[in-house]
Structure 1
């Protein structure tokens, strides 16, 4: 089966209602916190109230004596008994030295390095008893100076002995000499300084975990809200607790949103698993929302300077970028790859810019660790590039669409100067559809109508590209990945013809149980309801890499397709035997095996039964059964792309920004379920606009305290903040996976922030406001207007 065939199959492209929604909408879903085990105790973590402090002593005696307390552990209890949390991606600095990789203890040993750092764990019979006992833990802190802003990191106090200047690495990509030469010959140079603000993920379901130990067979089970249970188990066993993987089972049941923040191995997961054996009890921990603000891995937090060199016609000649990336206090699982492999390699965007050089300095600060958040490096790259491209157009007097069209890539495959090779795309088609959908022709009339009401209207463009699938493994390994990036799929056909699919991917809101079932049902010619999809349990599914980077259908779905290839090949041999024909003469279509040129045919269900009741079966050449497993390791990333156009109205008296219109045209390749794709795009756009206008994670510069530690101070977008989005698609199928899919889960969050900010700046330009950083909250916009008046 090839990419050109899949779209012709039944169920592909149909808006099939999500199979999993019934249990979610009726309260029948099972999340980690819904699980109650026998003899279940509860854990509460004592967290540092200081951003930077030496720990002189942790006195747990009073806590141990309190009612219901089963155990209390501090750093000295785990020191030497386990490893620290590992980082999954090794970055090598431009001078050839490996990155600075300080230890990340499960419970703080000797020092706390951010507000919320784990200092002790209390385990008690009830949650309230654990909370009360946690209050009784006495910690003697010697408070130290803290550094929280990435621009202060170099001159701030050192967090780790291995990084006395707080720098983790200095990394470069591109030909600096060629870029410098191009700038010398440029007719025009555009420069831009910008900040990509820090975000808190805030999934609907906070993180939760249950550690369990069975003395009878010396086995552990960890129930956890996690996006990739096999990777969690690998890191937990091989790098921290030194346990055989066969002795640890990780189960990730229903997960209420991840957005990247649930990819990682967290300290709580390790502590619960270890303590379950020490205390011979099942131990549950569930974060409350305030705890999640402090301890979940945060996203973004880049400060960058960018320059674009152009000829006299606005053609891009070269780009030069320097970025300071905040990694937080410790290295989270994939943190080091975000500002490098997943950011710098996307800076070509959709444009034929012949030379690009990017330098990245990554820094430790006294803040929560920073890692992948919806888009993971691609939103940061797109925001920088699309802000810069819009400014190029404004400075040259070219419309936003024109500056982009003059530089769009039109010939494929296209080798970028920053390592990636795009296989296919049609960026002009996306722009054409977006401008029509947004009614750009009517913008001037709408602007005049807004002016008549005392409001400023602006229009902003963003033409994004992203790299999905995180592949291939050999290239990723050469770039520092410490794990493979394949996926696994097992297809088990039952005697009655129904099918169970076991996937190493994981669903946490994307609808995999439906889309994967559509692929299998379409391929085998059976009803969608006859396909069950199983995921999230290392005890049931083969080793897989989980869900992130919009890789599920393109990598996980491709693995399932490879398994179906094997199913079909074997089934054809069975059918050929039954119909006394050669398997080369068997066609399989519409759920039936047909002898070419005859009316002989057998339905799929009969083949399934024959495989398990082999009374008339080619036993000499085939084993009974119809169950196949396949692994898929992509040969390249996939490259979704699109153009987003936003219109805003700004009230100059109050600084309030209202998104009036938002149009998005995406190229996701083959679309399996348009309804699910639309939902993913809606959610991504909401998160992107949330970052552009509202969300902002802020630490106090002097004390390191998290100022935006609750929804009272951290503004989340709501439904009434948005108009109805207008969506459309273009389809250029991916050329190197059997489905032709590209991925859709992150696009909305990638393309929308620059479209919004470009629109706000377009609206405010007549008032003299030429720049400001996200978020464009009312106070910040109003202040910018007042400053322009001064």
Structure 2
């Protein structure tokens, strides 16, 4: 193998050739013979009773094939939720039906009421405007606390209230936490909002349904991060299609950030409609439609309390959070503010007692689900903001307060009070590396230079830890997951020595076709170009759980390693026979099998050919072929961690914030491709800065989305960002997967928001403005108003 390939090399992303030359194959590039087009008529009110739908004018228009409403879906299941949460009283969450098309009521702006199928997208859109819908508008509830107040309008009439669940964790710690906070030498309290976000991947969602009447087979082409899960949920729980009669294909996908994990009603609709009209049906979301139909992210309101003893050691932590579910339960929504959030509230610190309470609330808004980081950014933001405030109240350097309370390297594996065990980590090392890279010692000089220019300079620190590769299946099953969380791979070796790897993971920008090939090529010692990665098609890949939660290399990559190990074990037997040796004596290096201690060797390609031309080995001992499948179910999460430092300048006259420096020192365990890792961190930090400074999904009191386009929803641009300093040299390999990897895809979005907010608060304090908190996004008006409030 060339020295610039394999594990640890910055191999160029092979998939970028087609992406940069315009030859990618995205779902919207798929057009089938005799195809029709769907347009969804969506509610323009947040809450109302549907009195009637008159589609006669639309149905009479030229080019209209059919109009569908909820009555066409009688007997069809609702869009299922994939995770059940049990509340602190032992009761299951309230779980309303999520119909494919609105039944009786609309519950948020964007709720689909009817669908027009026509010969062109334009005809479908025009016909949808001709549908007359009689709706009696009802009072909407948007504010979460108001939604659970006595007498609030109910989003779902068949539920007892708008409270989905009242979750407590760890419930047996509750009284001890209350007592520890009561007796503490110092308690820091902070109330904050984790603002609602829209994911906005470059490619909007698309779905194409096809039906083959000859063999009763359905095919769905869709923009999905996990096609096998879509096949399972849609086939088994919505449309009742046997899995062997349903194929789901997710070709090239232009970004997801979590919003394409979920099974959406549009996917079920085009699959159902294709059979109903016996023609392919295609739906492509407009960007404005995506704002009111894609699952949103975050949207928490939290009170957090941190108790410290007289030596400034953490003794207890208590949080109370309201988490918005929106109008319906999206696929993994209940798990995000609970098991993906509460289990990370210990952070990087020794905190003996932790109690987390979460009230999940239904409102007349778009459903909320996982967005890059999913629960871990929410936990980190709370924790790192309150730690920073505590340091200020105690007159301590924020870095030193953190260092004082860090879990020490010799304490790993470390059992947290929130039911997870960190296997490895070195938080002191990432802190020291970040301090070194930012030249922390000379910050005062830089602050003086900024002051001379009329600016306030601030320095913000945040530490994060996240749980990636969510697992194992037996644990998450106990926590309410309705699917396994393993991953799969098939390694197929061809007679000429090239390899096809079929994986249940899915790529939507992460570079899987490059990194996965690096792993397999490295194991054998062949050129990476000899390895092809196949994903995204349930007809070609083994059952897998897809890509989210930074699980691809830790779980999917480990499945590949296990399958490749099976292949190599068999290949060694063939090689041993060819060289008349014992298989225990066979070694593989740089694509050559050899007999230990001799000069006998045989090339990888010769062994592969022998596997398929078995003229010269005992068939009674070794069957022909060289192909193996493995399913990998992790023993634990992986726990990436890092130190993020941010420097800002604030203009006191306008409140405008400029990010002038950003450093990320991460521990991702072993790194497969440093260049790809750096790119993942860059993207995550950009999204985190977007949340902290710019992005905000805003509803008015009537449930109307006020930030429903790029005119009102501010996305980060290159000019909003500095050059990032990224380091991942502090590596503590994961102990329970064969690659020692931890995952890197979400880190940047987790650590950056609190680092930036901490930096702005620091700048204001240094300038004589004792502001304790500003909710994200830190727009100029919010910062300026906060400054005026403490003059």
C-alpha deviation, 1:440, in angstroms: 0.6
Corresponding position of 2:606 = 606
Corresponding position of 1:108 = 102
Alignment of 1:163-178 (within 5 A): 163-174=159-170, 175-178=173-176
2:430 counterpart of 1:430:
yes
Residues 26, 254 of structure 2: 8 Å contact kept: yes
Structure 2 counterpart SS, 1:85: coil
Corresponding position of 2:575 = 575
Corresponding position of 1:47 = 42
Structure 2 counterpart SS, 1:164: coil
Structure 2 counterpart SS, 1:213: strand
Residues 200, 297 of structure 1: 8 Å contact kept: yes
Residues 8, 674 of structure 2: 8 Å contact kept: yes
Corresponding position of 1:201 = 199
Alignment of 1:513-592 (within 5 A): 513-592=513-592
Residues 225, 252 of structure 1: 8 Å contact kept: yes
Q: Distance in 1 between matches of 2:181 and 2:748?
A: 33
Residues 9, 523 of structure 1: 8 Å contact kept: no
Residues 4, 11 of structure 2: 8 Å contact kept: no
Alignment of 1:334-483 (within 5 A): 334-410=332-408, 411-483=411-483
Q: TM-score, normalised by structure 2?
A: 0.98
2:131 counterpart of 1:128:
no
Corresponding position of 1:75 = 70
Alignment of 1:635-784 (within 5 A): 635-701=635-701, 703-729=702-728, 730-765=730-765, 766-784=768-786
Residues 253, 507 of structure 2: 8 Å contact kept: yes
Q: TM-score, normalised by structure 1?
A: 0.98
> 542-551 vs 611-620, which deviates more?
611-620
Residues 389, 772 of structure 2: 8 Å contact kept: no
Structure 1 counterpart SS, 2:38: strand
Q: Distance in 2 between matches of 1:263 and 1:223?
A: 14
> 178-187 vs 481-490, which deviates more?
178-187
Q: Distance in 1 between matches of 2:327 and 2:679?
A: 35
Corresponding position of 1:248 = 246
C-alpha deviation, 1:784, in angstroms: 1.0
Residues 380, 464 of structure 2: 8 Å contact kept: yes
Deviations 1:415-453 (A, max 9, x none): 000011000000000000001111111110111111111
Residues 5, 11 of structure 2: 8 Å contact kept: no
Residues 534, 541 of structure 1: 8 Å contact kept: yes
2:180 counterpart of 1:185:
no
Residues 5, 527 of structure 2: 8 Å contact kept: no
Q: Distance in 2 between matches of 1:435 and 1:619?
A: 62
Q: Distance in 1 between matches of 2:552 and 2:284?
A: 27
Corresponding position of 2:143 = 149
Alignment of 1:18-97 (within 5 A): 18-80=13-75, 82-97=76-91
Structure 2 counterpart SS, 1:624: coil
Corresponding position of 2:310 = 312
Structure 2 counterpart SS, 1:489: strand
C-alpha deviation, 1:341, in angstroms: 0.3
Residues 378, 750 of structure 1: 8 Å contact kept: yes
Residues 5, 528 of structure 2: 8 Å contact kept: no
Deviations 1:382-411 (A, max 9, x none): 000000111111111111110100000011
Structure 2 counterpart SS, 1:204: coil
Corresponding position of 1:139 = 133
Q: Distance in 1 between matches of 2:235 and 2:69?
A: 21
Q: Distance in 1 between matches of 2:393 and 2:731?
A: 33
Deviations 1:364-385 (A, max 9, x none): 0000000000000000000000
Residues 100, 162 of structure 1: 8 Å contact kept: no
Deviations 1:683-734 (A, max 9, x none): 0000000000000000002x11000000000000011111110011111000
Structure 1 counterpart SS, 2:762: helix
Q: Aligned residue pairs: how many? A: 781
C-alpha deviation, 1:10, in angstroms: 5.6
Q: Distance in 1 between matches of 2:531 and 2:72?
A: 48
Structure 1 counterpart SS, 2:148: helix
Show structure 2 runs of 5+ residues with no match: none
Residues 101, 162 of structure 1: 8 Å contact kept: no
Q: Distance in 2 between matches of 1:196 and 1:180?
A: 24
Structure 2 counterpart SS, 1:206: coil
Structure 2 counterpart SS, 1:611: helix
Structure 1 counterpart SS, 2:405: coil
Deviations 1:65-99 (A, max 9, x none): 0110001011122122x100000000001111110
Residues 9, 522 of structure 1: 8 Å contact kept: no
315, 324, 328: which is aligned to 1:330? 328
Structure 2 counterpart SS, 1:733: coil
Moved over 4 A (4+): none
Corresponding position of 1:117 = 111
C-alpha deviation, 1:209, in angstroms: 0.5
Q: Distance in 1 between matches of 2:292 and 2:5?
A: 47
270, 274, 277: which is aligned to 1:276? 274
Q: Distance in 2 between matches of 1:158 and 1:196?
A: 24
Residues 550, 744 of structure 2: 8 Å contact kept: yes
Residues 83, 481 of structure 2: 8 Å contact kept: yes
Q: Distance in 2 between matches of 1:180 and 1:277?
A: 58
Deviations 1:581-632 (A, max 9, x none): 1101111122111111111111111110100011111211111000010000
Structure 1 counterpart SS, 2:790: helix
Residues 79, 109 of structure 1: 8 Å contact kept: no
Corresponding position of 1:618 = 618
Structure 2 counterpart SS, 1:696: coil
C-alpha deviation, 1:9, in angstroms: 11
Corresponding position of 2:231 = 233
Structure 2 counterpart SS, 1:253: coil
Q: Distance in 2 between matches of 1:665 and 1:628?
A: 38
Q: Distance in 1 between matches of 2:708 and 2:20?
A: 30
> 200-209 vs 151-160, which deviates more?
151-160
Residues 10, 525 of structure 1: 8 Å contact kept: no
2:92 counterpart of 1:98:
yes
Q: Distance in 2 between matches of 1:295 and 1:709?
A: 11
Show structure 1 runs of 5+ residues with no match: 1-5
Residues 203, 255 of structure 2: 8 Å contact kept: yes
Q: Distance in 2 between matches of 1:335 and 1:662?
A: 31
Corresponding position of 1:3 = none
C-alpha deviation, 1:788, in angstroms: 1.8
Q: Distance in 2 between matches of 1:600 and 1:392?
A: 68
> 531-540 vs 616-625, which deviates more?
616-625
Q: Distance in 1 between matches of 2:726 and 2:262?
A: 33
Residues 650, 656 of structure 2: 8 Å contact kept: yes
Residues 51, 114 of structure 1: 8 Å contact kept: yes
Q: Distance in 2 between matches of 1:641 and 1:477?
A: 26
Residues 209, 223 of structure 1: 8 Å contact kept: yes
Structure 2 counterpart SS, 1:11: coil
